């Protein structure tokens, strides 16, 4: 109690030993605040701001903790803790009061039903605006902008020549005019001669050349649509960086490891009159992750 304030006759800035720590903390905080203002005024510097803010706030915190520990009344104090539940009488009185208020309503059953109906109808009507939040899911999930004859282009919009991709090379392409389409990223991969083992009925989907087959698969993982960007050319494996699904490109990009269950959809390729790579149609399957009616 003697430390609560300056003693009479003692100058207010002379500190007792117990006052020293909090005083130092508060003082540091004041100085750091001034420093913070200067740093900000001078154009700011992230690290200095962080350190100074820490001193400003930490000084107040530490000082306050010191004051609390040294000069404020210490515990332990004790308080009774009555049981949580109300007594039987209190509950009974409440129930009686509550039901008393409802008696008038009970005799107007039809009105009450109408009122409930009105509120319910309002609730149903309020559901309709939810419908405006998005369009009806249509064919969009099963189609991409690829059409027969559309050129494939790089991210910069440049058309691609078939001989542009070397053996074991990989190139990310899009349908021309749709380089921002999130469902369209496609991988062009050149497999060494004789390595491509196409699925039945898709033997003509690759562009064959003396230096190997050029194949195209959706770049979107069939698990969660992460772009499958890591190609290990030696094994012909495409690895998804998100959940490590692995696809065997020479064997029609079937999943060989990880959580993906389906092959990457294949894009049928061709070459137009000017020697540029075109799509001969849309992907073999809906791209990206599964959904309940994907196969319908």
Residue with Cβ nearer other proteins (68 or 118): 68
CB nearer to other proteins: give 96 or 106. Answer: 96
Q: What are the CA-CA distances from residue 197 to residues 153, 204, 205 (Å)?
A: 25, 12, 11
Tokens of 127: 């559901």
In the complex, minimum distance from the CB of residue 199 to other proteins, in angstroms, rounded to a whole number: 18
- Within positions 94 to 123, which residues make up the interface with other proteins, using CB under 8 A? none
Nearer to other proteins, 11 or 296 (CB): 296
- Residue 47 interacts with other proteins (CB under 8 A): yes or no: yes
Among 57, 95, 114, 121, binds other proteins (CB under 8 A): 57
Under rule CB under 8 A, residue 233 binds other proteins: no
The secondary structure element, H or E, covering residue 33 is: helix 17-41
Which residues, in sequence order, are bridge partners of residue 207? 214
* 50 contributes a contact to other proteins by CB under 8 A: yes
Q: Which of 104, 123, 134, 210 binds other proteins (CB under 8 A)?
A: 134
Per-residue 3-state assignment (H helix, E strand, C coil) for 230-280: EEECCCCEEECCCCCCEEECCCCCEEEECCCCCCCCECCEEECCCCEEEEC
Contact range with other proteins by CB under 8 A, out of 1-9, 71-79, 120-128, 271-279: 71-79
CB of 46 to other proteins, least distance (A): 5
Smallest distance, other proteins to C-beta of residue 27, A: 15
CB of residue 24 vs other proteins: minimum separation in angstroms?
A: 15
Q: Which residue carries 């099963």 as its tokens?
A: 142
Nearer to other proteins, 142 or 212 (CB): 142
Q: Which residue's structure tokens are 């137009």? A: 272
Using CB atoms within 10 A of its CB, is residue 116 exposed (0-12), middle (13-18) or buried (19+)? exposed
Nearer to other proteins, 212 or 263 (CB): 263
Q: How far apart are the first and last CA of the chain?
A: 82
Position 129 contacts other proteins (CB under 8 A): no
222 close to 264: Cβ distance less than 8 angstroms: yes
Which residues fall within 8 angstroms of residue 167, CB to CB, at 6 or more apart?
A: 190, 191, 192, 211, 212
Q: For residue 177, state whether it binds other proteins (rule: CB under 8 A).
A: no
């Amino acid at each position: 109690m003697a430390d609560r304030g300056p003693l009479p006759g003692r100058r207010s800035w002379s500190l007792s030993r117990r006052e020293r720590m909090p005083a130092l903390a508060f003082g540091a905080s004041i100085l750091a605040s001034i420093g913070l203002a200067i740093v900000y005024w001078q154009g700011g510097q992230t690290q200095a701001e962080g350190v100074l803010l820490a001193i400003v706030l930490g000084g107040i915190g530490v000082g306050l903790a010191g004051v609390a520990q040294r000069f404020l009344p210490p515990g332990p104090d004790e308080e009774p803790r009555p049981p949580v539940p109300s007594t039987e009488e209190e509950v009974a009185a409440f129930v009686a009061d509550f039901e008393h208020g409802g008696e008038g309503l009970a005799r107007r059953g039809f009105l009450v039903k109408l009122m409930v109906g009105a509120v319910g109808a309002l609730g149903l009507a309020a559901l309709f605006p939810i419908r405006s939040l998005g369009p009806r899911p249509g064919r969009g999930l099963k189609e991409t902008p690829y059409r027969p004859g559309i050129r494939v282009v790089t991210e910069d919009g440049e058309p691609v020549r078939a001989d542009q991709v070397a053996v074991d090379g990989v190139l990310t392409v899009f349908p021309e005019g749709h380089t921002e389409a999130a469902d369209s990223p496609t991988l062009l991969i050149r497999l060494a001669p004789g390595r491509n083992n196409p699925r039945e009925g898709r033997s003509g989907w690759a562009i064959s050349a003396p230096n190997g087959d050029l194949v195209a698969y959706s770049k979107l993982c069939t698990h969660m649509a992460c772009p499958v960007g890591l190609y290990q050319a030696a094994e012909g494996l495409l690895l998804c960086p998100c959940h490590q699904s692995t696809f065997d490109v020479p064997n029609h990009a079937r999943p060989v490891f990880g959580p993906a269950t389906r092959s990457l959809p294949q894009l049928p390729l061709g070459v137009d009159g000017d020697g540029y790579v075109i799509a001969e149609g849309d992907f073999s399957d809906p791209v990206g992750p599964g959904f309940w009616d994907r196969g319908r």
